[in-house]
A and B are shown apart, each in its own frame.
Chain A
Amino acid sequence: MSTLAPVSAVPGTSRLQARRGVGGRFGDLVLIGLTGAAAFGSVVLVGTIVWKVLRLSGDSFARFGFSFVTAREWDPVKHVFGALPFIYGTLVSSFVALVIATPLAIGIGLYLSELAPRGVRGIVGSLVELLAAIPSVVLGLWGILVLAPFVAHHVEPKLHSAFGFIPLFGDPQQTGQGLFTAALILTIMIVPIVASISRELFLGVPRELEEGALALGTTRWEMVRGVILPATRSGIAAALILGLGRALGEAIAVTQVIGGGTRIGSSLFPPADTLASKLASSYQGANPGLEISSLLYLAAILLVIGLGANLLAQVVVRRFDPLRGART
């Protein structure tokens, strides 16, 4: 308040000013303190989550160390635990989902940003976003009772007879519960996320660049391939990594359709488990002690993978803004 000092030359106002000043400063301090505490509280919260979850697996870590990550056996009776089947299930289901989701999501993004008539655009865009709002447990219920039987009776036999020479498409399963169905459910969850981000990215490409390409005589697709996709490449990559992070950590819907098991093999159809689905399905029946501790070790691995994917996406978004050059 020192800058207001001259005002105190007027008799009677100085005390008023001073009081308002102190009261005001106090209010400012309180508000900054409160909001700052909330903001830094979130940082502390994330730190605590990481620390606490990593520490939880202590017993199992002390027993198995890092070899837990590469051990293939999970046998509560023999007290032997290993995470490899679940890491395998997590990576394969998410990767397959990403492979199916990528062209779909980019196609939807292009349709919404370049092709759709004005009236249709908003409606279809909203519907795609609504797909992301369906609770995962509802999607899982649909997956286990509708999608899995359909996959077992129609999709797997056809894929097997057409592409059976590729080891990925082995013998069809009875129930349809397995890695492949889990990947399909994950695809449904990833597509709307990646599609909405792609649409925003495509809309952000400067109009002059697009028109320039078209004026040079390119077709719309050549313009997309030559201008839009290169300009948004890293943004799409970040969106895909975000989607991947979502898929890696999805527990409930996957638990419902993946069937459960520790098999590692080339075929996509047999039942399996992911880190998250193993946690969700085994936690309630688990014996206290080493089994619970090993389950929590799985959670720690999941946390590390999830954090990695997340941070990677953020680095890609922030570091490699593709339009930085184009905008200037």
Chain B
Amino acid sequence: MNRYRRRRLVNRMMEVLATLAALIAVAVLVIVVASVAIRGAGALNWDFFSKPQALFGQPGGGIANALIGTILLIALATAMAVPVGVLTAVYLTEFAPKRVAVSIQVVLDVLAGLPTIVIGIFVYALLVIGHTQSGVAGAVALAIIMLPLIARATQEVLLLVPGTLREASLALGVRRWRTVLGVILPSSLGGVLTGTVLAVARAAGETAPLLFTTSIFANSVQTDVTKALPNIPVLIFTYSEQADPALHEQAWAAALVLMGFVLVASVTAKVLLERNRRRLAG
């Protein structure tokens, strides 16, 4: 009887500990989001979005230049990564022999796991040494980070497309390329979109690769992608390393904008994913 009581006690303790672990994780999320929101909200106003960074040592200013730069970088990176990612996924699910597909999958997983700063160094060596920092270089680095994410998401949804759909199309005498372009890809468009949103959310917050490729920028709005583009992650990083409290306030506000965007994008992607899965499965 005593032994039984002890076993139940241990069981209860472990249940409490596991619940506690989950509570801690949620608490950390709440604490981080709340501190950023509370400290950042004060500096958020129209000027913050519409004015570029103040000159060194001067008060005021906003993040307009960094905001525009980040949007350009992400747009450019997405335009590069989506076609390559989708094509890769199509090859892996539709055409590749199994062994080839598995090997390429391993390589893609390795790419996804590479430290992002190493990817930054690579692009730095490829496009910056001998030239200057540029928005293009930054976008290429981000695109390399996005590529495996998009490929993986697309692949997952391509595998969900019912085999009957594929067979029906082929049985009608439709060529494989038309089957892929006309039947399979359209029915998995949602998955491609989800993957893209997830990858954008991830790339928007990446700082390390931009440090080497587009970090030395002007305080003014810059739209020439062959020059270094101002961007929000590097701005937050630089400000956070300064001692000036006014810059810290700006960093918090910029962090709030960035985090808000990333969290909203992540939640959207998750909702899209659920809906897609249900549609293709049902």
Contact = CB atoms under 8 A, between A and B. Distances in A.
Interface of A: 24, 27-28, 30-32, 34-43, 45-46, 48-49, 52-53, 56, 103-108, 110-112, 114-116, 124, 126-131, 133-142, 144-146, 188, 191-192, 195, 219-222, 224, 242, 245-246, 248-252, 255-256, 276, 279-280, 283-284, 296, 299, 302-303, 306-307, 309-311, 313-314
B168 interface: no
A195 to B, nearest CB: 7
A contact patch SS? helix
B87 to A, nearest CB: 4
Contacts of B171: none
Interface in B238-280: 240-241, 248, 251-252, 255, 258-259, 262-263, 266-267, 270
A303 B125 CA distance: 15
Contacts of B32: 134, 138-139, 142, 188
A135 B10 contact: no
B208 A45 contact: no
A135 B26 contact: no
Nearest to A310: B113
B14 A36 contact: no
B36 interface: yes
Most buried by B among A38, A56, A195, A279: A38
A49 B19 contact: no
B281 interface: no
Most buried by B among A128, A142, A296: A142
Given A133-B262, A222-B7, A280 B208 contact: yes
B80 to A, nearest CB: 12
A34 B126 CA distance: 24
A45 to B, nearest CB: 7
Given A35-B90, A39-B92, A39-B104, A302 B270 contact: no
26 contacts: A27-B177, A35-B95, A36-B96, A37-B87, A39-B91, A39-B104, A43-B103, A45-B147, A49-B122, A105-B21, A107-B17, A124-B22, A128-B26, A133-B262, A133-B263, A135-B205, A138-B36, A142-B35, A222-B7, A251-B117, A252-B211, A256-B237, A256-B241, A302-B117, A306-B115, A310-B110
Most buried by A among B87, B176, B251: B87
A127 B18 contact: no
A283 B211 contact: yes
A317 B14 CA distance: 27
A188 to B, nearest CB: 6
Contacts of A280: 117, 208, 211
Given A107-B18, A251-B115, A42 B147 contact: yes
Interface string B79-122: 00001110110111011100000011011111101111111011
